[in-house]
């Protein structure tokens, strides 16, 4: 099974977004007020050439995020804490073509969660089945959803996603999962906390687990250090998720692939497993 890292540009965020500081709403306030920035971080999606059809995990950011007014003016987080750098040719559709994959040939698009830098490329896939957790879409409802930072008005009008309810089938420390493929080698697992309906994608092949973690942790190091990020919707759940993922990678040889980790593409290419 060939798996590709697909980078759609870069994003610079506050250091306190990576290493959350304080408790409760103070975590978000501290992130917004932090004056120090990370280096530009990659925005990764992942294309899995599965025998049952191409699966894409997340869709990266759109170049439109560079336009004034793309982010809501009233939201201090977007105005003060996020700087995307995405050119039109960085969008996932173009990057896939460069890899020899036609966006129209993508069968399934799985969204780890609905933050803008994971859904920005959705417009390239009007013919794919779009899959996400039911809980995640419920959280986007109304003004509360907007306060949580979801840009639902940026979702394509044609979007009619398949919403996943997990089954009581444990995988390692995860009590629930959803089996996506007939071959039984691609699973969705709840990794909530960063957002309330966040999921990760697990591919088990060749004796390895490929763990597409979305923003469950921004990097491998933050997983190893068990650091909750500075914008997590639920700090305690996020901590529990980090604990479970760490337990999983200790139990199974795992290539760990978060969306904003500089080292992730190389770990994928070299099939480097987490050593703990």
**Rg of the chain (C-alpha set):** 17
Contact criterion met (CB below 8 Å) for 46 and 108 = no
Number of residues that bind Zn ion (CB under 5 A): 2
Work out how close the CB of 155 gets to Zn ion at its nearest, in angstroms, rounded to a whole number: 15
Site for Zn ion in 169-198 (CB under 5 A): none
- Kindly tell me which residue out of 14, 115, 135, 244 binds Zn ion, with binding defined by CB under 5 A: 115
Work out how close the CB of 119 gets to Zn ion at its nearest, in angstroms, rounded to a whole number: 10
Work out how close the CB of 264 gets to Zn ion at its nearest, in angstroms, rounded to a whole number: 15
Helix (H, G, I), strand (E, B) or coil at 33: helix
Separation of alpha carbons 8 and 45, rounded Å: 8
User: Could you tell me how many residues make up the chain?
Assistant: 276
Site for Zn ion in 25-44 (CB under 5 A): none
Q: Which helix (H) or strand (E) holds 213?
A: strand 208-214
Work out how close the CB of 108 gets to Zn ion at its nearest, in angstroms, rounded to a whole number: 20
Residue 135 interacts with Zn ion (CB under 5 A): yes or no = no
Contact criterion met (CB below 8 Å) for 152 and 136 = no
Residues in contact with Zn ion, shown as a per-residue x/- string from 70 to 109 under the rule CB under 5 A:
----------------------------------------
**Total Cβ atoms within 10 A of residue 223:** 23
Site for Zn ion in 206-225 (CB under 5 A): 215
Residues lying near Zn ion in the complex (CB under 5 A): 115, 215
């Amino acid at each position: 099974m060939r798996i590709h890292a697909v980078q759609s540009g870069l994003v610079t965020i506050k250091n306190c977004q990576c290493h959350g500081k304080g408790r409760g709403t103070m975590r978000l306030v501290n992130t917004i007020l932090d004056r120090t920035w990370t280096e530009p971080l990659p925005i990764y999606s992942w294309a899995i050439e599965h025998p049952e059809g191409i699966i894409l995990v997340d869709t990266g950011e759109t170049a439109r995020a560079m336009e004034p007014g793309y982010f809501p003016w009233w939201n201090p987080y977007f105005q003060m804490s996020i700087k995307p750098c995405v050119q039109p040719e960085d969008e996932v559709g173009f990057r896939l073509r460069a890899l020899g994959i036609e966006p129209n040939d993508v069968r399934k698009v799985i969204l780890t969660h609905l933050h803008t830098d994971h859904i920005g490329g959705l417009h390239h896939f009007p013919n794919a089945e779009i899959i996400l957790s039911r809980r995640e879409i419920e959280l986007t409802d109304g003004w509360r959803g907007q306060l949580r930072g979801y840009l639902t008005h940026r979702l394509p009008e044609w979007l009619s996603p398949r919403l996943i309810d997990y089954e009581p089938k444990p995988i390692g420390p995860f009590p629930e999962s959803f089996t996506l493929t007939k071959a039984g080698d691609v699973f969705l697992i709840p990794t909530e906390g960063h957002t309330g309906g966040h999921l990760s994608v697990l591919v088990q092949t060749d004796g390895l687990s490929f763990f597409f973690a979305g923003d469950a942790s921004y990097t491998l190091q933050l997983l190893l250090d068990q650091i909750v990020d500075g914008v997590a919707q639920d700090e305690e759940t996020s901590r529990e998720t980090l604990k479970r993922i760490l337990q999983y990678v200790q139990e199974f040889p795992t290539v760990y692939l978060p969306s904003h980790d500089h080292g992730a593409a190389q770990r994928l290419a070299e099939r480097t497993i987490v050593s703990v």
